[in-house]
Structure 1
Amino acid sequence: MMAAKTILVAGTYDTKDDELHYLAEIIHGQGGRVLSMDVSVLGDPSRPTDVSKHQVAEAGGSSIEAAIGAGDENTAMQIMGSGAAAKALELYRAGSIHGVVVLGGTMGTDLALDLCAALPLGVPKYVVSTVAFSPLLPPERIPADVQMILWSGGLFGLNSICKAALSQAAGAVLGAARAVEAPRRERPLIGMTSFGKTVLRYMVTLKPALEARGFEVAVFHATGMGGRAFESLSREGAFAAVMDFAPQEVSN
């Protein structure tokens, strides 16, 4: 029998309590487990979360009192965003979570992107946002493998329209956590950048030759998010070597 997967459900429980609990109910109803994280500042959830806002602020090297005392919503959310990212990574490394779904409006989405960016490539991460795919989200702020779902009609309170988006997100993240095949890293991995096969053909020669020498080779399409994924894995130390042959993204 497949072991139950645990999904981190994060958001501002002081303003989106009903919506976040609805997400959790759907995940539970499909046989998953939930670990809840409150990233609000001023208010409190209707019932305690697994990770409190105080723990989140402390993980960000600060405190709720400091966030409130800043007197500025942007500064407060930066504190909570830093803490949420650090706490989510800690939970993932401990094996406590297998995927994450974050709910947010404008400020909450900014925090959600920080949280998702902290998790390694391949960890299922979903953001349900009122500003998904909008110009408010520049490409450089979006993690390479995050999935976004527009939170239609969900700015204030539950309704049949926003429930459709929330239930899809709950099912998607749990399904992804169950189905994902995590990288095994059985062979040293080489990261290579290129354009399409018809433009730059060096990979056609290099890939099989490197594989014959015992390496695994991953070729990234260097046209934006592919390059972001390449750089993300580089920062994680996933590669034994890199062959960055298509560096035009430096100028882009």
Structure 2
Amino acid sequence: MSTDHFDLAGRTALITGASRGLGQVFGRALARAGADLIVTSRKAEDLTPFCHEVEAIGRRALPLELDVRDQYSIEAMCKAAIAAVDKIDVLVNNAGCNIRKPALEVTWDDWNTILDTNLRGSFFVAQGIARHMVERGYGRIINIGSVTSVCGYAGLGPYGASRGGIKQLTMSLADDWGPHGITVNCLAPGWFKTNQNRALYEQEGWVEYLTDRIPLKRPGKPDDLEGAIVFLASDASAYVTGQTLLVDGGISGGPVKIKL
């Protein structure tokens, strides 16, 4: 197979939640593969440093404001993005949040914040961009899930429910939009250090405990995700849809209990 299958030159990718963390990891990988970017955050000015970084790679980067918990913000962002570029080829539904608590301490508002951000927001962003993709007869939608899409962990009840929902949503949307030339897949990272879980990785004992339970014997590194995101965004995955690609060092392969 030619490496041209992984070439994203001439493509435009929209990435939500790109002001930090894995959203920027995905953006760098897609830009290096040739894609121009539209990046979103609740505050557009938070995207300025990353946009400069993308432009230094030689790609264009358009910052847009988006609050995925707000219906009108989603509608405005989709309208602005489609008006600003000729086409949107790839959507990376990355915006998300977590509130880590024991199940008995989760509040009504905690639940709504997590589910509204991670699941409802992902659906309506996908819906808004898919209308444009359906008209073109082409698209790659990548919903960002988690190892919690397939495994349950104490302290992550609402978060796991939202990520499990993303896995199921991915399969439904793949069936809905496949006839229109759109693939929909879920990229599910394992245990990667992010702002959401930074405190855990500052505990040496916990990191040793985690590492012992990962078959590859280390937590994930950002560049472990680069090949997977480019694959799902490119023509290399043209016949892959409705799938959840776990990039987790193998931890989801067996019944392993993780202490949080």
TM-score for the superposition, normalised by structure 2? 0.46
Q: Which has the larger radius of gyration?
A: 1
Q: Which has the higher helix share?
A: 2
TM-score for the superposition, normalised by structure 1? 0.47
Q: Whose relative contact order is higher, 1 or 2, with alpha carbons under 8 Å and at least 6 apart?
A: 2
